[in-house]
Chains A and B, each alone.
Chain A
């Protein structure tokens, strides 16, 4: 009895030791593998730019002071590390001179990089068809109205933008993400003022004509009506003015719905449903577009049955007349 209890105690000691060895030897190594190589370098910048306030030693006054960070220079670090550029170091795009504090004044006069400064003829440019996107963008209302001041960064924040439509199977999340990009400026006058002196227009008022407005805003992206469908790239970039945007219900509510060439473009390529419902991918997304999602079998069956009934009625009527 005593020997079995002793054995049990030894077993516990061995198991505990093994657990400790695993925790101190294996876990830190596996965690270390997950840490991106740029994190350490970026921490130097995010220490200040990742917060609303920053603290530094003022060598003139010889004391440590805290100041508020310009809100436009605050970076959401969590969003950065899930964004497209999560592998980059700050100094890959910003001048290495920014590593010194206080930052030299002349650094602010430097031109910011454009997408094509890095992605010109490379694998990324090829994959996402940047060339065509650039052609479409130049014809868009943004580029036409604001010329050089309007860059890719206005919509695709380089510090947080993440590809959603290609990766996300939940279309609702894609809709929210993409609409937030538009609403960032179009519902916030403060964000719009650097480019336009237009008075803030209420999105709901502008779309007064649209029935079931809330349902539409939840179910489609601004882009789906406000873009010219070109099919050069997976996401069309020729944003249309409100005068040229789609206002015809049938563009979406028909068998040849434009939603298949816009919102559902990625999913359409991946999934061809055999359920008999036209544009079935829309239904798999918990949505339903009247007319665009009619069922082929139901259509045929109902027409055949109604046809047969009419035929029976005609025969019945003829018999009544002839046998009178």
Chain B
């Protein structure tokens, strides 16, 4: 959609709009399921950040990914029944799931139903600002998705973590 009309091979605009709309609706359903399931099952506790010592934990994990992993050091925060995510994972998942995804959903609804969007905000087109927010959130989520996919290869084997993607457990 973003590069519609480009000369190189692309999905036709109408198809990309349709795919985009359907994906958006699926995302909304999934997100509602995620929020409700987190609340009902108590899975939400894994997304709660305790301020105390969190920065140090983040630094420890970052150091491991950028240095320790190559020296075959032990992971500083191994995954267990009590600890589903390491601190860096937790931070990125909280930002992605509770900031980026809600914002991309809200702006997406505004674009899917443009008549509901405020027409002008401080002299700027409301639709333009909504789309700008949607695109920026999309960009950050793309970055998250790339890193997320790569980190999946860091399990016991190169493929074991891809299983975790579906069942939610390491």
B166 smallest CB distance to A (angstroms): 22
B12: chain A residues within 8 A (beta carbon): 250
Q: How many angstroms between the C-alpha atoms of A294 and B135 in the bound complex?
A: 10
Partner of B70, one of A249, A283, A302, A323: A323
A305: chain B residues within 8 A (beta carbon): 139, 143
In the complex, A262 has a CB within 8 A of chain B: no
A302, B139: Cβ atoms under 8 Å?
yes
B111: chain A residues within 8 A (beta carbon): 290
B5, A250: Cβ atoms under 8 Å?
yes
How many residues of chain B get a CB closer than 8 Å to chain A's CBs? 33
Residue of B nearest to A295 (CB): B132
In the complex, A309 has a CB within 8 A of chain B: yes
A253, B5: Cβ atoms under 8 Å?
yes
**Among residues 248 to 267 in chain A, which have CB atoms less than 8 Å away from a CB atom of chain B?**
248-250, 253-256
B146, A249: Cβ atoms under 8 Å?
no
B52: chain A residues within 8 A (beta carbon): none
A310, B146: Cβ atoms under 8 Å?
yes
B139, A287: Cβ atoms under 8 Å?
no
Given A212-B114, A253-B4, are A288 and B128 also a contact pair (CB < 8 Å)?
yes
Interface string of B1-31 (1 = CB under 8 A from A): 1111110000011100100000000000000
B124: chain A residues within 8 A (beta carbon): 283, 286
Given A249-B17, A306-B146, are A291 and B4 also a contact pair (CB < 8 Å)?
yes
Interface string of B134-148 (1 = CB under 8 A from A): 011001001100110
A249, B4: Cβ atoms under 8 Å?
yes
B153, A253: Cβ atoms under 8 Å?
no
In the complex, B56 has a CB within 8 A of chain A: no
A291, B147: Cβ atoms under 8 Å?
no
Given A286-B119, A306-B142, A320-B70, are A254 and B131 also a contact pair (CB < 8 Å)?
no
A195: chain B residues within 8 A (beta carbon): none
A254, B115: Cβ atoms under 8 Å?
no
B1, A286: Cβ atoms under 8 Å?
no
Given A291-B1, A291-B5, A323-B70, are A215 and B125 also a contact pair (CB < 8 Å)?
no
Interface string of A281-299 (1 = CB under 8 A from B): 0010111101101110011
Q: How many angstroms between the C-alpha atoms of A214 and B113 in the bound complex?
A: 11
Given A215-B114, A286-B119, A302-B139, are A291 and B70 also a contact pair (CB < 8 Å)?
no
Interface residues on A, range: 20 to 34
B131: chain A residues within 8 A (beta carbon): 288, 290, 293
In the complex, A82 has a CB within 8 A of chain B: no
Residue of B nearest to A257 (CB): B5
Given A249-B13, A317-B153, are A287 and B127 also a contact pair (CB < 8 Å)?
yes
A283: chain B residues within 8 A (beta carbon): 124-125, 128
Residue of A nearest to B66 (CB): A316
Q: How many angstroms between the C-alpha atoms of A123 and B41 in the bound complex?
A: 80
Q: How many angstroms between the C-alpha atoms of A79 and B115 in the bound complex?
A: 32
**Among residues 95 to 114 in chain B, which have CB atoms less than 8 Å away from a CB atom of chain A?**
111, 114
A313 smallest CB distance to B (angstroms): 5
Partner of A253, one of B13, B70, B142, B143: B13
B115, A293: Cβ atoms under 8 Å?
no
A16 smallest CB distance to B (angstroms): 46
A281 smallest CB distance to B (angstroms): 12
A256, B5: Cβ atoms under 8 Å?
yes
Residue of B nearest to A319 (CB): B70
A295: chain B residues within 8 A (beta carbon): 132
A249, B14: Cβ atoms under 8 Å?
yes
A310: chain B residues within 8 A (beta carbon): 146
In the complex, A211 has a CB within 8 A of chain B: yes
B151 smallest CB distance to A (angstroms): 9
Q: How many angstroms between the C-alpha atoms of A305 and B135 in the bound complex?
A: 14
Q: Which of A288, A302, A319 has the most CB of B within 10 A?
A: A288
A293 smallest CB distance to B (angstroms): 7
B128, A291: Cβ atoms under 8 Å?
no
B120, A286: Cβ atoms under 8 Å?
yes
B160 smallest CB distance to A (angstroms): 15
Beyond A255-B6, A319-B70, 8 additional pairs, beta carbon < 8 A: A212-B114, A215-B115, A248-B13, A253-B1, A253-B4, A291-B13, A294-B2, A313-B147
Using a CB–CB distance below 8 Å, which chain B residues touch chain A? Answer: 1-6, 12-14, 17, 69-71, 111, 114-115, 119-120, 124-125, 127-128, 131-132, 135-136, 139, 142-143, 146-147, 150, 153
7 pairs from A and B in contact (CB 8 Å cutoff): A249-B13, A249-B17, A250-B4, A256-B5, A302-B139, A309-B146, A313-B147
